[in-house]
Amino acid sequence: MSLNYYEESPREECGVIGIFAPNEDVARMTYFGLYALQHRGQEAAGIAVSDGASVRLHKDIGLVSQVFNNQNLANMQGHYAIGHTRYSTTGSSQLRNAQPFLIETMYGPIAVAHNGNLVNSAELREDLLKHGVGLSSTSDTEIITLMLAGAKGNTWKERIQNVMERWVGAYCLLILTRDHVLAVRDPWGFHPLNVGLLPGGGHAAASETGALRTLGCEAIREIQPGEIVELSNNALTIHQAVPPKKHLAQCTFENIYFARPDNVWHGLSTHHVRQNLGKQLAMEVKIDADVVIPVPDSSIPAAIGYAIESGITYNDGFIKNRYIGRTFIEPTDSLRKQGIALKFNVINENILNKRVIMVDDSIVRGNTTGPLIKLLRSAGAKEVHVVITCPPITHPCFMGVDMGSQDDLIASHKNIDEISHLIGSDSLHFLSLEGMMRAMNAVADPDEKNLRLSDPCSDEQGYCNACFTGIYPFNVNIQNTKTGFEKNIA
């Protein structure tokens, strides 16, 4: 049994960044920006750089620190750059699917980095093949790149706009040409994309605001759904390429789990939203207990919020080895049997003879929660009550979040009592859908003691909750899998 068996939380596809910075080392800037986005994908990384005449690319399987070094960064000189860090949702984790994708076109070179997932990629792929276009990967990003190469229009902005109308699904794109970086966001607004002003001149765009702040960006602005933002010598230009959808579909999991706590999306701090989720959970779930502990790291703000609202003491219960899950060296058989203990250790004195509330962001497959409860009981916990900061996940995601198929989702075929029995908890509680959306839009009072709550969000208010409700923003083929094209290219 590999360590991947114990990966419970859903996974994002990737992080993207693009930079225009004249007279700066844009490759090295992109490298540090990718470091700030490493949490969004740890399978592969890549950077493409243009000096105004030609584009150079370096990418490989591995973490940012494993893929790049001083030598290969020194060979990438220019004013424009895009970067990518990947977790696969369409196409397996192989070098041929690593990004950015770079090709030569009749209009010059173009490189593409993509965060998201097209739900109509099979149809688009078939259309390319019918027109004699060859494909070397099984990634929907290659489909996007090749469609751009064949698009009609006098400028890259026009070509992008013309093909956006055919793309259905989630896409935040950073596109590099000889003398431009263009940032593109889908009209549903599934995932965040932001742009900021660099201190030395020029601009940068990235999946999260934390990456932009790492580079010293100011005047950070969210790229709106359906926009194309152009970074070039002509300064920042913004173009509404396609109208935003009437019902936006922002991914609630960005704030529940994926984004770094310092990210700001729609004017709300992710850390603040997670605290609100914990507070709302404490309003809904009353448990007589001695201590509230988080499952690190994304659940820490929620556990703090739960403790504040409930009045129960907050403390650390687990210490997480943040590197064991990212190693490319397989453990020995004896270590593999240790399973979750390779990744987490318990602080015994904080748990011994305590009634514990364990706060976590989600239960997907149910593989991690049970072993964590066993660790707490082994440390002397009298009771273990599990509270989750979102509703049960009952349906897969097709918009760039790898949750597995519906058969993989424990809540799709077991009720809450059955899950609680399976994982060995004294009780199990999920945040209600209404409570989650209320917390997503809550604004804290200055004294942080109460929440001023908006009305619970409906579809009209702009969120995608398909993984909880089965109501998708558009028609999806539930038979699609991330390796669906692998049978054709081994």
Contact 488, 92 (CB under 8 A): no
Beta strands in 225-379 (DSSP E): 227-231, 237-240, 250-251, 264-265, 268-269, 291-294, 313-314, 318-320, 344-346, 355-360
Cα dist from 212 to 23, 61, 183, whole Å: 18, 24, 14
Q: What CA–CA distance (Å, rounded) separates 342 from 336?
A: 8
Question: The tokens of 434 are what?
Answer: 């209404």
The rounded Cα 314 to chain-centroid distance in angstroms is 28
Describe the chain by its helix, strand, coil percentages, rounded to 5: 30, 25, 45
Contact 330, 307 (CB under 8 A): no
CB atoms near residue 77 (< 10 Å): 13
Cα dist from 154 to 2, 107, 158, 159, 161, whole Å: 51, 9, 6, 7, 11
Burial of 357 (0-12, 13-18, 19+ CB in 10 A): buried
Q: What CA–CA distance (Å, rounded) separates 321 from 330?
A: 16
Q: What CA–CA distance (Å, rounded) separates 179 from 190?
A: 28
Grouping H, G, I as helix, E, B as strand and the rest as coil, residue 211 is helix
Active-site residue, from 14, 217, 457, 464: 14
Residue 390 a catalytic site member:
no
Amino acid at 258: F
Q: What CA–CA distance (Å, rounded) separates 363 from 423?
A: 10
Question: Which residues face 50 on adjacent strands?
Answer: 55, 80
Q: What CA–CA distance (Å, rounded) separates 86 from 94?
A: 11
Contact 315, 338 (CB under 8 A): no
Contact 65, 13 (CB under 8 A): no
Contact 241, 224 (CB under 8 A): no
Q: What are phi and psi of 372, to 5 degrees?
A: -65, -40
Let me know the angle formed at the C-alpha of 25 by 22 and 30, rounded to the nearest 5 degrees. 105
Residues with catalytic function: 14
